[in-house]
Amino acid sequence: MSPHQNHDRNDIDPAPNRPMSVSEIKDSYAEYADRMHRFEWIDRVILGRYRRDRFGDVEGRVLDVACGTGTNFRYLPDAVDLVGIDVSPEMLANAEERLTELDIDGSLREMDAQELEFPDDSFDAVISALSTCTFPDPIAALREMDRVCKPEGTIRLVEHGRSDVRPIAKYQEWRADAHYAQTGCRWTQNPREIASKAGLRVRDTDTGLFGTITTFEITPNRREER
């Protein structure tokens, strides 16, 4: 019996049944990188407004965690000092092209979001999109975002998860294992639950696209509370 079949259908998160390592996730994104870069226009049509709403007013030194092919970059104000990290060199190679195409003077580094190589309080804003679904330990990654963000800064997320429209949710549940095995993405996750488990102070949150998209503005915890 494959690990996929040894599965209680009530448990809609496939990760505990087949936990993926960071290096497996890295391999899976190596395959998708060029395609995601080429088809970014589809993301722009569907998710552009959510990204613009959450990321369009950040300031100062900005960290984009799991920046992928740089899909967020076009929504950031011109004046920001941008740093992007991702675990996949192939995604970062495409993000580098995006920087050039948009004429943005940012820097990119290969790094695990769960162990960010930045000191505490390094950024005015930490942003991340469609990422907690693929981190093997999303709570660790969110706590790292909180740690590297200045206490007076802001954390902004655009995440996806289980729809609140029943037929869509049913489809997601049905495909959850296969989707996870292919991409390492838990698309039936509940982003609000993850933010709450990470102990984040949510200032504002919103949902859209049949409940599949949840966006957040988070106030970082002060160092003594971390």
Ligand X SMILES: C[S@@+](CC[C@H](N)C(=O)[O-])C[C@H]1O[C@@H](n2cnc3c(N)ncnc32)[C@H](O)[C@@H]1O
Site residues for ligand X per CB under 6 A: 22, 25, 29, 66-68, 71-72, 86-88, 91, 112-114, 129-131, 134-135
Q: How far apart are the C-alpha atoms of 198 and 113, rounded to whole Å?
A: 14
The Cβ-side half-sphere exposure at 160, using a 13 Å CA radius, reads: 17
- Tell me how far, at minimum, the Cβ of 194 lies from ligand X, in Å: 14
In the complex with ligand X, which residue's Cβ is closer, 39 or 225? 39
In the complex with ligand X, which residue's Cβ is closer, 136 or 151? 136
Residues belonging to the chain: 226
- Tell me how far, at minimum, the Cβ of 1 lies from ligand X, in Å: 28
- Tell me how far, at minimum, the Cβ of 131 lies from ligand X, in Å: 5
Q: Indicate the residue type of 199.
A: G
CA distances from 129 to 191, 215, 216 (A): 11, 9, 10
- Tell me how far, at minimum, the Cβ of 145 lies from ligand X, in Å: 11
75: left (phi over 0), alpha (psi -120 to 50) or beta: alpha
In the complex with ligand X, which residue's Cβ is closer, 29 or 123? 29
Mention every residue, 6+ apart, whose C-beta is less than 8 A from residue 153.
60, 121, 123, 124, 125, 126, 220
- Tell me how far, at minimum, the Cβ of 12 lies from ligand X, in Å: 19
In the complex with ligand X, which residue's Cβ is closer, 66 or 82? 66
Using CB positions, name the residue nearest to ligand X.
Answer: 68
170-175 long-range Cβ contacts below 8 angstroms, 24+ apart: 172/12, 173/9, 173/12
In the complex with ligand X, which residue's Cβ is closer, 59 or 137? 137
